Amino acid sequence: MKVQIYTLQSVSEAKKVASLGVDHVGITPANIGLPGEITLEVGKDICTSLTETTTVAISVSNNIREIINMALFVKPDILHLCGNPGSISVNDIENIKEKIIDSGIEIMYAISVDNDQAIQAAIDYSHVSDYLILDTSTEEVEGIGASGKTHDWNISRSIVENVRTPVILAGGLSIENVQDAITKVKPWGVDSLTHTNKLMDDGSFIKDFKKVEEFVNKSKEII
């Protein structure tokens, strides 16, 4: 079971979670007020420093040129597209891939699991994506994800059964529910942001390394 952890905000923090067995280290290179966002320069430093761990850079933008420029500057292993549902089309992804293919960057596309329509959306986007991530949308947070809330895992299970693309399950996963989620959905990987954070007095957060380690261990116990 692969484990993806968001969102790392420094090289030292990223290296620490990588040492705990995290397979995908997620970052948020942006300047629009997203949770845990970092500058593109810090994002590039993190991606450069992690030579043995897969790096994932998220974008909620629907501006194709902006997405491409960020990816080519930061140079993650995977570009995670999670703008509002439908804001990036299948053709858009094909255009993005054409521009970044020489850099070896793969595409992860976020599916908002709101209802059964997510199944067809996943099938459609699976043909142009290297990974799918199934997440939860809320009005409070721009894009798909970072809500800390679960969704209907029955729909997620149907998506896993209907696509060949590796599927990462996200949305409200924690130490308490990740094993149940894996058993029910049978994804390729699992993702955590909100429930492996440590909240600070000023409202910001850092990763709680103890929670991250336990999340990794519980996830990888399931065969």
Which CATH number belongs to the domain containing residue 39 in this structure? 3.20.20.70
Q: Which two tokens stand for residue 90?
A: 């299948």
Q: Which domain holds residue 40?
A: 2-221
Per-residue pLDDT tens over the stretch 100-134: 989 999 999 999 998 899 999 999 999 999 999 99
Half-sphere exposure of 11 (CA within 13 A, CB side): 11
Cα Rg, the chain, nearest whole Å: 16
Question: Does residue 30 surpass a pLDDT of 70?
Answer: yes
What distances in angstroms separate CA 163 from CA 2, 128, 142, 157, 176, one per listed residue?
Answer: 18, 12, 26, 10, 28
Q: How many domains does the chain have?
A: 1
For the entire predicted model, the pTM comes to 0.93
Question: Does residue 143 surpass a pLDDT of 50?
Answer: no
What distances in angstroms separate CA 50 from CA 17, 26, 74, 82, 150, one per listed residue?
Answer: 11, 11, 13, 23, 30
Q: Side chain identity at 95, as an amino acid letter?
A: N
